[in-house]
């Protein structure tokens, strides 16, 4: 492609995004049967991977902590007639922003993804974890009435960062639909669907800070959350979680028993020693991660820096938001995506009173 053609192509893509954005009307999500949801990111203060199990997953002890950084979701549910559903399904044929789910193919889900991360994230509705959450919850509770679900996701959490954005969006949809469908938030079926969607989804139903085991989805107990400032630094390239675990199998790296014992008995997030034995595998797949680690350690001190999950975001805990902002600015100047934020007590939740 010539330079001019490339520029035209980029302009076209930008115009398309702008046109889509112009169609977004906040009014769609006002009034009855609508809600706004907060969907936070997480970091793993501890990730101690153990043996590979028969189902391919690995045992994992982890301490997750929610961040103030979050996506915002808007959800609208509309009961419609079977004829109306059939008509809308026919009209949506070939569109990637809609998908049909539920036990009787009775849910028409439309997802409008507004990417604020600069990644130009494009995910077909059928592949979106938010859709899978709606589909599986409907199946789990036998929700078979014709219904249109409209979802807008404003993404601030970069994908493939080990920050759990997709999992958090799925948890937010579970919380929103449980409310819309009169299912108690603590219903076992909600937690079960969460676990079936991925290792991280269950955490976001609780949020704050928690110690989990199993494959990282069984909540053991909560810890007192911290409010420390955080700076996130992410390389452009991502790391596939599955590939990181595969590499870990090829070159295992046992977790330190000493750190594990300390973190298992911690009652506050601030007492947790940072450790991640999946990090060497991720660094082997994406060597730039070690550049970020070394650079961030110079800024924030060795013991305050860690890769989150399978990466590719590395975080540093610092004392003030001003310090987090200073480091984020310097990281951005080096060509990395970076954000100042803080640890928080957030969970996937409905924003009250709107
Ligand atoms: C790295 C972490 O983010 C730490 O919180 C999680 O362990 C991964 O969470 P996630 O992205 O929700 O991952 P999932 O979608 O459940 O799994 C992606 C892939 O990672 C591998 N996987 C994940 C979790 C786990 N305990 N053992 C694994 O081996 C599996 O190959 C799986 O197919
Ligand atoms: N709602 C969603 N938001 C972001 N990514 C999604 C979503 N639904 C599906 N995905 C897919 O999942 C992939 C990983 O997204 P996500 O941001 O959850 O990964 P991650 O930051 O590595 O999280 P984790 O810590 O759970 O591994 C994306 O590349 C995308 O293709």
- CATH number of the domain enclosing 216: 3.30.230.10
212 and 229, same domain (yes or no) = no
Ligand 1 atom closest to residue 167's alpha carbon, by position in its atom list:
12
Secondary structure (3-state) at 166: helix
What is the reported pLDDT for 30? 78
Assess contact for 101 and 177: CB atoms under 8 A. Answer: no
Atom of ligand 2 nearest to the CA of 238: 22
Same domain for 59 and 206, yes or no, is yes
Residue 12's pLDDT is 62
Query: Is the CB of 123 inside a 6 Å radius of any atom of ligand 2?
Result: yes
- Which residue has its alpha carbon closest to ligand 2 atom 12? 166
- In this structure, the residue with its CA closest to atom 1 of ligand 1 is 309
pLDDT for the residue numbered 353? 77
Q: Which of 61, 71, 135, 200 is catalytic?
A: 200
* 200: annotated active-site residue: yes
Asked whether 158 lines ligand 2 (CB < 6 A), one says no
Ligand 2 centroid vs 164 CA: distance in angstroms?
6
Residue 78 sits in the same domain as residue 207: yes
Q: Is the pTM of this model over 0.80?
A: yes
Same domain, 85 and 116: yes
Q: What is the pLDDT of residue 29?
A: 80
Read off the pLDDT of residues 178-213 as tens digits, 9 standing for 90 and up.
Answer: 999 999 988 999 999 999 998 899 999 999 999 999
**What is the domain range of residue 315?**
225-342
Residue 232 neighbours by CB under 8 Å, 6+ apart: 43, 67, 69, 161, 163, 308, 313, 314, 315, 328, 338, 339, 341
Measured from the Cβ of residue 196, the count of other Cβ atoms closer than 10 Å reads 14
* pLDDT at residue 28 in the model: 75
Burial of residue 283 (number of CB atoms within 10 Å: 0-12, 13-18, 19+): buried
Number of domains in the chain: 2
Please tell me whether residues 56 and 178 are part of one structural domain.
yes
Ligand 2 midpoint to CA 348 (Å): 15
The kind and range of the H/E element at 19 are helix 3-23
pLDDT at 354: 67
In a domain, 277, yes or no: yes
Give dist(CA 262, CA 215) in Å, integer. Answer: 20
What is the distance between the alpha carbons of residues 254 and 278, in angstroms, rounded to a whole number?
Answer: 9
94 and 183 together in one domain: yes
User: Which three-class secondary structure string do you get for 217-230?
Assistant: CEEEEEEECCCCEE
Q: Are residues 73 and 215 in the same domain?
A: yes
Spans of the chain, pLDDT less than 50: none
Q: Is 87 annotated as catalytic?
A: no
Query: What pLDDT is attached to residue 23?
Result: 66
Nearest protein CA to atom 17 of ligand 1, as residue: 198
Structural domain includes residue 261? yes
Residue of 111, 120, 134, 165 to test ligand 2 pocket, by largest number of atoms within 8 Å of CB: 165
Whether residue 183 sits in one domain with residue 162: yes
CB 341 within 8 A of CB 324: yes
* Residue of 310, 309, 317 lying closest to 342 (CA atoms): 317
The CATH number linked to 300 is: 3.30.70.890
Question: Same structural domain for residues 56 and 138?
Answer: yes
| 3-class SS letters over 298-344 | HHHCHHHEEECCCCCEEEEEECCHHHHHHHHHHHHHCCCEEEEEEEC
Cα 160 to ligand 2 centroid, rounded to whole Å: 6
Q: Is 160 in the pocket of ligand 2 (CB under 6 A)?
A: yes
- Does residue 52 share a domain with residue 91? yes
The first and second tokens of residue 339, run together, are 């954000």
Structure tokens at 103: 């036990």
What's the burial of 27, exposed, middle or buried (CB within 10 Å: 0-12/13-18/19+)? exposed
């Amino acid at each position: 492609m010539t330079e001019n053609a490339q520029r035209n192509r980029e302009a076209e893509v930008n115009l398309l995004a702008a046109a889509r954005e112009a169609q977004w009307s906040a009014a769609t999500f006002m009034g009855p049967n609508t809600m706004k949801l907060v969907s936070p990111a997480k970091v793993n203060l501890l990730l101690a991977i153990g043996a590979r199990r028969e189902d391919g997953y690995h045992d994992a002890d982890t301490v997750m902590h929610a961040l103030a950084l979050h996506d915002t979701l808007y959800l609208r549910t509309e009961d419609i007639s079977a004829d109306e559903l059939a008509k809308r399904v026919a009209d949506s044929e070939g569109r990637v922003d809609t998908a049909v789910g539920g036990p009787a193919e009775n849910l028409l889900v439309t997802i409008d993804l507004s990417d604020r991360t600069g990644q130009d994230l494009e995910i077909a509705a059928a592949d979106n974890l938010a859709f899978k959450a709606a589909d599986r919850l409907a199946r789990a509770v036998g929700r078979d009435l014709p219904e249109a679900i409209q979802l807008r996701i404003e993404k601030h959490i970069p994908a493939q960062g080990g920050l759990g954005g997709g999992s958090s969006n799925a948890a937010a949809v579970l919380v929103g639909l449980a409310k819309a469908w009169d299912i108690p938030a603590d219903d076992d079926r909600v937690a079960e669907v969460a676990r079936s969607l991925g290792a991280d989804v269950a955490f976001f139903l609780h949020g704050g800070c928690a110690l989990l085991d199993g494959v990282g989805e069984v909540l053991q107990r909560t810890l007192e959350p911290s409010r420390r400032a955080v700076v996130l630094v992410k390389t452009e390239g991502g790391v596939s979680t599955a590939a990181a675990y595969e590499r870990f199998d090829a070159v295992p790296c046992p977790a330190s028993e000493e750190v594990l014992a300390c973190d298992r008995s911690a009652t506050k997030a601030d007492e947790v020693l940072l450790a991640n034995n999946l990090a060497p595998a991720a660094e082997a797949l994406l060597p730039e991660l070690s550049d970020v680690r070394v650079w961030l350690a110079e800024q924030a001190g060795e013991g305050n820096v860690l890769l989150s999950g399978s990466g590719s975001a590395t975080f540093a805990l610092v004392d003030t938001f001003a310090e987090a902002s200073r480091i984020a600015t310097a990281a951005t100047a080096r060509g990395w995506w970076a954000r100042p934020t803080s640890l928080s007590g957030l969970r996937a939740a409905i924003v009250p009173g709107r």
